[in-house]
Amino acid sequence: MIKSNIKLLFLSFLLLISLRPLQSAEMIDPIKVDWSFKGLTGTFDRASLQRGFQVYKEVCASCHSMQYLSYRNLGEPGGPEFSEQEVKAIAASFEIEDGPDSQGEMFTRPGKPSDKFKSPYPNVQAATAANGGAYPPDMSVLVKARKGGANYIYSVLVGYEDPPAGVTLDDGVYYNKYMAGNKIKMPNNLMDGLVEYADGTESTVDQMAKDVTTFLAWAAEPELEERHRTGVKVIIYLILLTILVYLSMKKIWSRVDSEV
Amino acid sequence: MSEQEYTPKSKAGKWFNDRLPLLTLGAHLTDYPTPKNLNYWWTFGGILTFCLITQIVTGIVLAMHYVAHADLAFASVEHIMRDVNYGWLIRYIHSNGASMFFLAVYIHIFRSLFYGSYKSPREVIWIIGLMIYLLMMAAAFMGYVLPWGQMSFWGATVITNLFSAIPLVGDSITTWLWGAYSVDNPTLNRFFSLHYLIPFLILGLVVLHIWALHVPGNNNPVGIDIKKPSKDTVPFHPYITIKDAFALLVFMIIFAGFVFFTPNVLGHSDNYIPANPLVTPAHIVPEWYLLPFYAILRSVPDKLGGVILMFSAIFILFVLPWLDTSKVRSAVFRPIYRQFFWILVIDVLMLGYVGAMPAEGIYLVLARVGTIYYFLHFIVVMPVVGYLEKTDPIPMSISEPVLTGGTEPSLARKVNDKV
């Protein structure tokens, strides 16, 4: 009885779920990429993270901030894992405003690993004004802040096209088939050979888009590798404990004439 | 409370127990006679206690690092995720814990509905339970506001605006709730204060819930009154404790699956965008566990009407023990009501689903049909079916039909099949 009811319940639920495509017909699904960080034991591709940081630094960082990251994060386990010297050098390449000093004056100094990533604009308003009225979003948690996550970010980066006939775009607006509403104020900044990768990888648009998306995925979830590792251990432990408790339960309940 | 007086063995124990009978209470809790035929749907009380304690413990730690200020809240959550030792783990347990808490409470409530646990003499347990559920919704809603993301802000705006539907004083009440002329820093600050308070109110009500339970004792799948203690009962410890522990561990495996492998799947991606009063998200949706009520709210074209109906959907449950006219508790022996029970389950799931969809077209129609059935179920189906239904024969005791199966084999089989 209960079983057949549960079946009915399940079927009606499937019916409801199948109604879903009706709603999201106007947006096309992002490209599905087989990311290395997907799955229960997924980890980041270290080389890709380092290349992705390079793309971010040379291309994205002129407009997009990453205010919740510190330079030290670049050397931490589970991330791009630059060496201590490299992290220091990266940090020192930025001029950071500090202060006030004992005279009450603000001053600039070379960055330290403990500094937060330097933002390209002093505030949201300045960033908006400098970019034609569209604020380039902070990218610290961007991958978590978009439906579709890494697939979506990657798709937008490679999704620029000429607008279809009949679609007219204002100045400073671009056509992108994966962007909600298809209109985006960010120009297509990636072109083949734009950056010169330190490891010699050929910098195609697709390669750069994948690398920078990987970097952003790590930036949004720097704990991902540790989370996956811990999760596997926790679940194995819980399953073993569950089996032991189940056997104990069977033994204890064998004293009474009732099933558990 | 205990049937037979408990005497501590040691002299010190006796001295203390005479002054504060904590040991008597402990003995009562250990020996508490529990029906031996409780199935796994009965393990959710223990699971819910675990959920509450988990939320309180992780919440206290989070509050040590969180900053309840409109300019700093979002950044402080990122600080927890990135800089606090195991901050990501604590926060993900807390945010997914809320969902697991509601998953468990819905199973607990529907178990009560199926087996008639809300009926005499357990009405007070039921009502206290509903008060806990109401407080849980308040706590969850305010907790969702704290990260101060887009859904936090706009969810808070939608829900607090409901009060403006009250005639005459609505706007004043809304302003008073906000502490400002819109959802702003004072709102966030007071929500944090209340979010910290409510779990302890819930804890107090849980004590009353269990106390009220221990007066008549547990209902059971057969739904009959049983003699306690008797061969129909087992002592709570070790029989029920070990069974609850087993069920809890299975629950924890699912919980851990969410926390470690898909920690954000139950949330909304927009909540990782900092709150912006100038940009309204395309679809404002509450967390999944509030969706059925959201669907009811939006199914009414009139704002005040929607608000009244939404609150009625919860408050009608308070009079449920008096709407149900059936003398038989368990739906196992109620062939007609049992069908309606499953229709209600499907109805609520459907309401939840359409609550997540835009309120237009087919979804609006489904929401209206679902809302009408929801109320019909309680106002018409329960009194009428209880009155007209011919129930199946009920066994005299839990052990009897099973053990003396020879005398009435058909009944014995029936009970075994269904329970």
User: What would the two tokens of residue B76 be?
Assistant: 């402080």
Q: Which of B78, B252, B256 sits opposite A141 (nearest CB)?
A: B78
- Position A9 pLDDT exceeds 80: no
pLDDT beneath 70, residues of chain B: 1-4, 400-419
Which residues of chain B are within 8 Å of residue A26 when distances are taken between CB atoms? none
Q: Which of A24-33, A36-45, A204-213, B166-175 has the lowest mean pLDDT?
A: A24-33
A130 has a chain B CB within 8 A of its CB: no
Beta bridge partners of B184: none
pLDDT of residue A260: 79
Which residues of chain B are within 8 Å of residue A180 when distances are taken between CB atoms? 282
Beta bridge partners of A98: A107
Q: At the top level of CATH, which class does the domain B285-388 belong to? A: mainly alpha
Higher per-residue pLDDT: A16 or B235: B235
Q: Which of A211-220, A250-259, B313-322 has the lowest mean pLDDT?
A: A250-259
The DSSP H or E segment spanning A184 is strand A183-184
DSSP state of A177: S
Which residue in chain A is spatially nearest to B357 when comparing CA positions? A23
User: What would the two tokens of residue B89 be?
Assistant: 């783990």
Tell me, what amino acid is at A132? G
- Position A213 pLDDT exceeds 90: yes
Q: Residue range A5-30: average pLDDT?
A: 59
Cα separation of A36 and A22, whole Å?
Answer: 32
Confidence tier at A230 by pLDDT (50, 70, 90) = very high
Q: How many CB atoms lie within 10 A of CB B22?
A: 11
User: What would the two tokens of residue A188 be?
Assistant: 């297509």
CATH of B30-281, one of 3.40.50.11540, 3.40.50.1820, 1.20.810.10, 2.115.10.20: 1.20.810.10
- Identify from B272, B332, B354, B399 which residue to disrupt to test chain A contact, counting A C-beta atoms within 10 A and taking the largest count: B272
Cα separation of A126 and B16, whole Å?
Answer: 70
Q: Residue range A68-92: average pLDDT?
A: 98
- Position A22 pLDDT exceeds 50: no
A123 has a chain B CB within 8 A of its CB: no
> Helix (H, G, I), strand (E, B), or coil: what is residue B408?
coil
Which residues of chain A are within 8 Å of residue B82 when distances are taken between CB atoms? 68-69, 73, 222
Q: Residue range A96-100: average pLDDT?
A: 95
Do strands A107-110 and A95-98 pair parallel, antiparallel, or not at all (unpaired)? antiparallel
Cα separation of A119 and A110, whole Å?
Answer: 15
The angle at the Cα of A69, spanning A229 to A217, to the nearest 5 degrees, equals 50
Q: Where are the domains of chain B?
A: 30-281, 285-388
pTM: predicted TM-score of the whole model, two decimal places: 0.92
Which residue in chain B is spatially nearest to A138 when comparing CA positions? B273
pLDDT of residue A11: 61
Confidence tier at A25 by pLDDT (50, 70, 90) = very low
Beta bridge partners of B274: B149
- How far apart, in Å, are the Cα atoms of B68 and each of A232, B138, B142, B375? 34, 18, 12, 39
Predicted ipTM of the assembly = 0.91
B253 has a chain A CB within 8 A of its CB: yes
Do strands A183-184 and B233-235 pair parallel, antiparallel, or not at all (unpaired)? unpaired
For chain B, the distance separating the N- and C-terminal CA atoms, rounded to the nearest angstrom, is 30
- Identify from B38, B74, B81 which residue to disrupt to test chain A contact, counting A C-beta atoms within 10 A and taking the largest count: B81
Spell out the long-range contacts of B233-236 with Cβ–Cβ below 8 A and sequence spacing 24 or more: B233/B33, B233/B34, B233/B35, B233/B36, B234/A256, B234/A258, B234/B33, B234/B34, B234/B36, B235/B30, B235/B31, B235/B32, B235/B33, B235/B34, B236/B29, B236/B30, B236/B31, B236/B32, B236/B33, B236/B34
pLDDT of residue A17: 54
Cα separation of B403 and B230, whole Å?
Answer: 15
| CB atoms A9 and B37 under 8 Å | no
- Tell me the shortest Cα–Cα distance from B72 to chain A, in angstroms: 12
- Tell me the shortest Cα–Cα distance from A162 to chain B, in angstroms: 26
Confidence tier at A257 by pLDDT (50, 70, 90) = confident
| CB atoms B253 and A227 under 8 Å | no
- Position A15 pLDDT exceeds 60: no
Which residues of chain B are within 8 Å of residue A23 when distances are taken between CB atoms? 357-358
* H helix count then E strand count, chain A: 8, 4
